[in-house]
Homo-oligomer: A and B are copies of this chain.
């Protein structure tokens, strides 16, 4: 019989491993001595752990650190961009997207495959997703990198405690265990698979991308088939006690509005999502709408302005409630930003009670429709960086 190590020792190493990697992630270029200083661990402990992290390709030693004073030069440590990658997957109503993101957050590869997933059975759609995942894994193998974790973005309510996709109205799904299905179908048995709401993951990607001069409080909103929102409060994604937070699509905008799939009338989603704008502009698809907008066609411009009104009504309530200073337009709304931002800002300025004392920013996401799949991959990377010891143990077993 092999005696297991005392639990305490495991736990301490796990904790310290995460502490060291966290310090390196936070300020790239630290020396071992710098890591010791910022974590409070001894240099000997740091050296042992850095060796362990480097052996697992999590950390890279970039040679002598620049230094102006005298004394021995430390070497410069950073997250290893050729180390394990995070796999991002997005299951949308009209496409499946995949991407590979390295430890530093850079997208190294991505692919989008159109797919008619609306009202298809989970089995059929997850079969498609499994194929896309297999292609991404093959690409990772070709590049000689390990996939250290996967994140899946889905258009529905994901319960944090169980990981179940409780309800995805636009797919017509209920109670699907997406990680379990993908582990079984797509050869993801040995890595952790996380699942999250696409709008929350898009907001997370926006936060990670870190644009907008360090704005740490914002609502990220995008309007493809549904309207998704994600809240970033104090530099953290806020998704509520069960992970159901950020639902804005069924905000009641007009008691006389059209009926919605949720049973209510006049939901924001029915009045301001892509479909409603296209219909009002009499445009067959988004490229046509954008073309019409660029050539200044009045009907197209008016359709975007008409969407700004209900969107502004809903967002002004969010801003009155949460007092955040910025809205970030993502997805389709990012493409519409040149025409949407100003009427939206007017509506917000009119309705937000605190607007007279600080202007509201309506910003444009640089990530566009890729945000959700990037956020999914970034959440997988975060899991590795937050608990490298578990990743190392799992790769040893694999």
Task: Assess whether A157 is interfacial by the CB under 8 Å rule.
Answer: yes
Q: Which of B167, B243, B264, B353 contacts A250 (CB 8 A)?
A: B353
Residues of chain B within 8 A of A244, CB atoms compared: 320, 323, 353-354
| Chain A residues bordering chain B, tally (CB within 8 A) | 45
Contact with B along A303-346 (1 / 0, CB 8 A): 00000000001000110111111000000000000000000000
CB-CB under 8 A for A239 and B323, given A167-B353, A247-B353, A353-B250: yes
Q: How far, in angstroms, from A217 to B324 measured CA to CA in the complex?
A: 19
Q: Which residue of the partner chain, among B247, B323, B351, contacts A321 with CB atoms under 8 Å?
A: B247
- Contact of A233 with B242 in the complex, beta carbons under 8 Å: no
**Known contacts A217-B241, A313-B252; A354 and B321 CB within 8 A of each other:** no
A256 within 8 A of B: yes
Do A317 and B252 touch across chains, with their CB atoms under 8 A apart?
A: yes
Name the interface residues of A343-371: CB closer than 8 Å to any CB of B: 350-351, 353-354, 356-358
Q: How many copies does the complex hold?
A: 2
Q: Is the CB of A322 within 8 A of B353?
A: no
Residues in B with CB closer than 8 Å to A12 are none
Q: Is A132 part of the binding interface, using a Cβ–Cβ cutoff of 8 Å?
A: no
Partner pick for A320 among B248, B354, B356, CB 8 A cutoff: B248
> How many angstroms from the CA of A199 to the CA of B80 in the assembled complex?
49
Using known A-B contacts A256-B255, A353-B167, determine if residue A242 contacts B317 with beta carbons closer than 8 Å. Answer: no
Q: Give which listed residue, B241, B354, B358, contacts A323 with CB less than 8 A.
A: B241
Question: What 0/1 pattern do residues 177 to 191 of A give for CB contact below 8 A with B?
Answer: 000000000000000
| Interface hits, A215-266 → B, CB 8 Å | 217, 229, 231, 233, 238-248, 250-256, 262-264
Q: Is A159 engaged at the interface, CB distance under 8 Å to the other chain?
A: yes
Indicate if the CB atoms of A358 and B255 lie closer than 8 Å.
Answer: no
* Cβ contacts under 8 Å, A320 to chain B: 244, 247-248, 250-251
Q: List, sorted by A's number, 21 A–B pairs whose CB atoms are closer than 8 Å.
A: A157-B353, A159-B357, A166-B357, A231-B321, A231-B322, A241-B323, A241-B324, A242-B323, A242-B357, A242-B358, A244-B320, A245-B321, A245-B322, A246-B323, A247-B320, A248-B321, A250-B353, A255-B255, A255-B256, A263-B350, A321-B321
Known: A167-B356, A245-B323, A317-B317. 13 other contacts (CB 8 A): A217-B240, A229-B321, A233-B238, A241-B325, A244-B320, A244-B353, A245-B322, A248-B321, A252-B317, A255-B256, A262-B353, A264-B351, A318-B321
